[in-house]
Amino acid sequence: MRAPDWLTARPVAHRGLHDISRGIVENMPAAAEAAIDGNFAIECDIQLSSDGEAMVHHDGALGRLTEGSGALRGKTAAELKAVNFKDTPERMMTLGDLCALVAGRVPLVIEVKSHFDGDRRLVKRMSEVLASYDGPAVGMSFDPDQVVALRELIRGRARGIVAERRYTAEEWPEASPAQRRGMTHLRHAFWSRPDFVAYWVDELPAAAPWIARNIFGLPLLTWTVRTPEQRDRAARHADQMIFEGFLPGT
């Protein structure tokens, strides 16, 4: 399907409009509210809990932002919502919580985190939540298999591939060598069939996203834009940026 026009209409706040200096932590309710106040779309991450819930959190394990340790998929949603965060009294949200908070006021760009094991439970839960959500939302993932799952399980909403130029075993230990090879140069695109591409800003320009954008007409987002040089690169080579650490237009 065609990616919606709103996808590139406004800059996308990476994990919400977070600012730790003001006590606003990524993927927390305050970061979502700040993005809404600025009229920015919200990029967020979801991870699977042990009981099949979609939790709004970037890391696969506790510890960087939170007290405690352990993989999210080894804990229930109730356990994760009770975890203390280091710099905020807020609690981890489910995707349903985020949808209720946003209530369609700005678009959601939801990244499905993957362990490259073919598990579709996270996308299935996402489909259940979005089935009763009328607001603008799309899904995306680094894992082409999850992009296929988005296409098959969430009909009527666009899906995208998050990509970069190369995938090393050190950075992508859960992906097999064959999976890593298949992810390079978007060579999976004819079977994953993404509706848009989100590409690492430091690797633009690159042939694969150029072809996707200019030959096949797929909108090109770029992540994560933080510096003036990256802003210039995004403006020259992409349709819209996923940003953090500054306010666009200032």
Quick check: is 250 in a domain? no
Q: Which two three-digit tokens encode residue 137?
A: 């939302």
The share of the chain scoring above pLDDT 70, in percent, equals: 100
Distance, C-alpha 127 to centroid of its chain: 15
Cα–Cα distances (Å) from 79 to 53, 121, 129, 180, 223, in that order, read 11, 19, 20, 33, 31
Residue 248 lies in a domain: no
List the domain range (segments joined by +) for residue 105: 5-243
Q: Is the pLDDT of residue 50 over 90?
A: yes
Whether residue 224 lies inside any domain: the answer is yes
Give me the number of domains the chain comprises: 1
Q: In which band, very low, low, confident or very high, does the pLDDT at 250 lie, cut at 50, 70 and 90?
A: confident
pLDDT-above-90 percentage for the chain: 98
Q: How confident is the model at residue 24 (pLDDT cuts 50, 70, 90)?
A: very high
pTM over 0.85: yes
Domain CATH code at residue 32 = 3.20.20.190
Instruction: Establish if 249 belongs to a structural domain.
Output: no
Whether residue 3 has pLDDT greater than 80: yes
Phi-psi region of 61 (alpha: psi -120 to 50; beta: other; left: phi over 0): beta
Q: Is 202 inside a domain boundary?
A: yes
